[in-house]
């Protein structure tokens, strides 16, 4: 019998603090919901993680980025792929999810075209694994 990994962390949303414990999938789902709620309410998002799970969660959390309403999707994606979040290959689905959590809403086709532009500009690379395209930065992401 294998022992399931457990994740524990505290999440501060403005004046509220949540302590979340559970399997990585359950915690990721709750975290996504909490971040969406915070984004809709304009609440400051700071995450504190207890234990050895910080690194595993950090790679899936949307990175803090300074973006404006007038900024292009290509520019936002360029910034996104220069962060620690891009330290592992990401699918279009993962890119769409993180953009949504960040409050950036664009059609899938727009994001796909922007990713293709970044590939042409040699900012990111596109890999194909098991029939799915994955995107990675050309230069290693910076440590945040």
Question: Based on the domain organization, do 50 and 95 belong to the same domain?
Answer: no
Answer yes or no: is 131 within a domain: yes
Structure confidence at residue 121 (pLDDT): 95
- Do the domain assignments include residue 39? yes
Instruction: Answer yes or no: do 78 and 54 share one domain.
Output: no
Question: How far is Cα 18 from Cα 10, in angstroms, rounded to an integer?
Answer: 5
What is the rounded (10 degree) CA torsion for 30, 31, 36, 40?
100
The pLDDT assigned to 83 comes to: 87
CATH number of the CATH domain containing 108: 1.10.10.10
Does residue 22 fall inside a structural domain? yes
User: For the chain (length 144 residues), average pLDDT per consecutive 10?
Assistant: 63 68 77 72 56 54 78 93 88 91 90 96 93 90 58
77 and 120 belong to one structural domain = yes
Q: Which residues contact 129 (CB under 8 A, 6 or more apart)?
A: 89
68 falls within a domain: no
Residues 99 and 54 in one domain: no
Q: Indicate whether 96 and 119 sit together in one domain.
A: yes
Closest CA to 77 of 38, 42, 112: 112
Is residue 104 a part of any domain in this protein? Answer: yes
Tally of residues, the chain = 144
Q: Which residue pairs from 21-24 have beta carbons closer than 8 angstroms and sit at least 24 positions apart in sequence?
A: 24/56
Same domain, 84 and 128: yes
Please state the φ and ψ torsions of residue 53, each to the nearest 5 degrees: -85, -5
d(CA 48, CA 39): 18
Give the per-residue pLDDT at 117: 95
Q: Provide the residue range defining the domain that includes 92.
A: 73-137
Q: What is the pTM of this model?
A: 0.60
Residue 21 region, left (φ>0) first, then alpha (ψ -120 to 50), else beta?
beta
Over its C-alpha atoms, the chain yields an Rg (Å, rounded) of 16
pLDDT recorded at residue 1: 42
To the nearest 10 degrees (0 to 180), the angle between helices 73-80 and 108-120 is 70
Are 40 and 77 in the same domain? no
84 and 107, same domain (yes or no)? yes
- The verdict on residue 126 lying in a domain is yes
Q: What is the pLDDT of residue 3?
A: 53
Whether 1 maps to a domain, the answer reads no
Confidence (pLDDT) at 2: 46
Which residue, chain included where needed, has tokens 């953009």? 99
In a domain, 125, yes or no: yes
């Amino acid at each position: 019998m294998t022992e399931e990994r457990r994740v524990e962390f505290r999440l501060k949303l403005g004046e509220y603090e949540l302590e979340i414990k559970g399997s990585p999938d359950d915690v990721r789902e709750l975290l996504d919901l909490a971040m969406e709620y915070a984004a809709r309410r304009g609440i400051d998002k700071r995450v504190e993680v207890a234990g050895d799970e910080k690194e595993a969660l950090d790679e899936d959390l949307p990175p803090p980025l300074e973006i404006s309403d007038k900024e292009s999707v290509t520019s936002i994606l360029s910034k996104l792929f220069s962060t620690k979040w891009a330290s592992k290959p990401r699918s279009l689905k993962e890119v769409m999810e993180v953009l949504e959590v960040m409050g950036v809403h664009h059609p899938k086709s727009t994001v796909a075209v922007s990713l293709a532009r970044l590939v042409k500009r040699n900012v990111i690379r596109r890999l194909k694994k098991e029939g799915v395209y994955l995107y990675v930065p050309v230069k290693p992401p910076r440590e945040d």
